[in-house]
Structure 1
């Protein structure tokens, strides 16, 4: 007997393109994933704040769909900032299937990313609180649904010019002293996974409908413990990709250096005038000093001077209009 499956097409709320519904991610009326998605797209200059507000207002009324492309774009914003700081993906080998599972630790999410996403989230809803855990859950969800190479940000030349350490291979070896490997889930397993932190996300509900770990509640999360994703099958029919694990000690050194505590700045230095080259000064203007929105490459910062003071002119999409920063 021949069985025919009819492809169902749905439209994306953001780009309004019609496509196979398997290429779309469904939201819930209460989902931190949706907030992180929209905030990251604003920071990545994919959409403006008004469009994000329109989408969010629609999502809180009823379930909506966004195409996979937007999730990948939002995830790339986060991974690009991690790569800029020399932080890559963590990984472990799923022995039963013989594959490498990539994930991120909560401690690896840069603080300035959390602040920027939170700032935009409050513009969507003043009661929203986005923590490191929420961003980590969103990124691990994307790593489970898509291939790691689709999310991994390329190493840009800007980070090398500004003497920032970059990573040759974003995969870092497992640190057995602190991290605990996430549990692996076999294909075809009837039971729900034991560790799922993607609360309120419909896509996780679709994959594991019986899991009690999925909750639609939204509340502030102050716990900063690491959240590791289970090695469950991705949303596609293919198994997770095979990745060669290589030891890269430079990655561990970079991550450890970012976790070290810093001493307070000497108050006398705050009044001191330093000589800084114009090229080095411009490398600091990757984000708006006021709201944290990433400054588009198409609207790059321009350096000028007024008397002894350096002046940087730039255009911020959130602040609406030309902005000026004065050094003195």
Structure 2
């Protein structure tokens, strides 16, 4: 108790010794969608993650940080507000956390209130929740991509399928439900794609190019910044340039040793693969409880 009190008292003494206040640090906040801790920095020997591993080696790695909800919107809303999903009453993909907590202060909003220029690109909150109160300027977007740019395809056979689907939908008069707020089509094809093209043919790669340019711009403003960059991968579909697929021998990737459902587990606790079955090459698979 005495030691703690001494430490607390030392802080004003130490700060008083400094001749000038250090400049506030800039913050680059990177969000990654559906990334599990199968990374080298968490001891995984299969996944090749040299850049994240290097970042972890020079920073802090949390080993007991648990997701508040295994659903995108409530998980992100909880993380960025510091409130539990039950407190903000967000349990699905549609509810805006401000419907029940209009005065909640988010992480980027807190920085904005404290002299930072706050800006975001990509998936920070869930797609349908832009939350303008968090940002000092409109959230960045890349022209030509749908509002939800996860299902973007480049292989000719997939583009041909999508064009065929568009024509079928138009003929049936159902195009309104497949065109987003930006006027772009949103359709899914297969769950995986491999093309021998550069990173920036997909949204995440293109976003990285834009983010790097934005960092240069923010650096020149002479004001501290909070920059949230949200990546869509490794969320489905698993579409990536060939060079990343070539890093792995698929036959050598170990499967889970235990593929059985826990005894007595309720069905609501089981992933029913609903999202995966939304892709044309997996529509035939059975539910987990059906074997």
TM-score where L is the length of structure 1? 0.22
TM-score where L is the length of structure 2? 0.24
| Higher strand proportion | 1
Which of structures 1 and 2 has the bigger CA Rg? 2
Q: 1 or 2 for the larger relative contact order (CA 8 Å, sep ≥6)?
A: 2
